[in-house]
Amino acid sequence: METNQSLRLFIVCFLLHSLTSSSSLSTKNITTDKNALLALKTRITHDSATLLAKNWSTSTSVCNWIGVSCGVRHQRVTALNISYLGLTGTIPPQLGNLSFLALLAINDNNFYGSLPYELARLRRLKYINFNYNQLSGNVPSSIFNISSLQELRLKHNRLSSMVNVSGGGPSLMSLDLSENMFEGEIPPFISECKQLRFLNLSSNNFRGGIPKEIGNLTKLKTLSIFLNKLEGEIPQELGNLVELERLLLLDNVMLTGQIPSLLFNISTLWQINFTNNSLIGDLPHNMCSHHRKAAVLKGLQLSFNQITGTIPYNLWQCRELTVVSLSYNQFRGRIPSDIGNLTMVKKLALGGNNLIGRYL
């Protein structure tokens, strides 16, 4: 009896909830979308081809406007792609009213100012591209709360912070924050974006250590954090990234410690670029051993470090190697003679070491 009552109560609450949420949706229609896009149009201060000025005309349906696509079912705007149009302007908060938007591509223009918080209201967004603009300030943490968001591209702007991000985007597969002005530590929420395949934080001012929790992102294929101010050691936990293909940590001149030997157990890893760090210690001698399921390593770029010891004698077993840069380290001893069996090698740089023996 009591369970029946609470069930009934639950159903009533559920119905009320659905009614209120659907009625709040129904207050928006294609006119809302039109107003949002007109708000964007008024924010455009320079439109070199006067494209929007002419084409985004109130006398035609928004669904015929250049860069705008509508869904068949709801007749609402589902995609806005105004990339490469030479537009200068700012992003209005009204864009947050395009409630059916799944794709937002504003890349390769000259938009400046900040990203409005209201974008987080776009609960159907899958893809955001603001690459190559002049956006500055804070990335609203609410953007990472969009549970449908799969790809967020913010490359080459002037963004400097991400405050109070709690919880990582549950669907986020690709995050590009490279070529901005981000400072401070790599934010912890990134390690909670469990679906990440691609992460690019290169060319910023990130400081501190590489969070060991990044090793939890087991679907990661590309990890690119070069040209920052990272310090400390490369965490052992990166060895858990069993699908990793590219690991680019170059130009973090304070990154030190030994290269974790576990990295060489990742059977998919084909590029290691640690050029111009401060890595020390010997290279693991079994790094190319036949224990590795598949030695697919193509690029091993370790120049400008302080790596010691001899060149691993079984390097020739990484048969796919095409680029081997070990110059400007502290390698000593003989150049392994079987290195000549690396038939794919196009570049072999060994200068600036203490090697002995004849040239190959």
Residues that bind ligand NAG (CB under 6 A): 27-32, 35, 54-55, 57, 60, 64, 66, 81, 83-84, 93-94, 96-97, 103, 105, 118, 120, 141-142, 145, 155, 163-164, 166, 178-179, 200, 202-203, 212-213, 215-216, 222, 224, 227, 237, 246, 248, 250-251, 253, 262, 265, 273, 275-276, 291, 301, 303-304, 316, 325, 338, 341
Distance (Å) of CA 305 to CA 6, 191, 203, 229, 243:
67, 28, 20, 16, 26
CB of 90 to ligand NAG, least distance (A): 14
CB of 338 to ligand NAG, least distance (A): 4
CB of 237 to ligand NAG, least distance (A): 5
Paired sense of beta strands 44-47 and 68-70, if any? unpaired
Minimum CB distance to ligand NAG smaller for 236 or for 308? 236
- Tokens 């490469």 belong to residue: 84
CB of 309 to ligand NAG, least distance (A): 18
Determine contact, residues 274/305, Cβ cutoff 8 Å: yes
Minimum CB distance to ligand NAG smaller for 309 or for 336? 336
Minimum CB distance to ligand NAG smaller for 12 or for 63? 63
How long a stretch of residues is the chain?
360
Bridge partner list, 289: none
Paired sense of beta strands 347-349 and 332-334, if any? unpaired
Q: How far is CA 171 from the centre of its chain?
A: 13
Q: Which DSSP string do the residues of 189-201 spell out, in sequence order?
A: GGGG-TT-SEEE-
Quote the CA–CA distance of 72 and 203 in Å, as a whole number. 42
CB of 355 to ligand NAG, least distance (A): 17
Minimum CB distance to ligand NAG smaller for 239 or for 333? 239
Minimum CB distance to ligand NAG smaller for 5 or for 276? 276
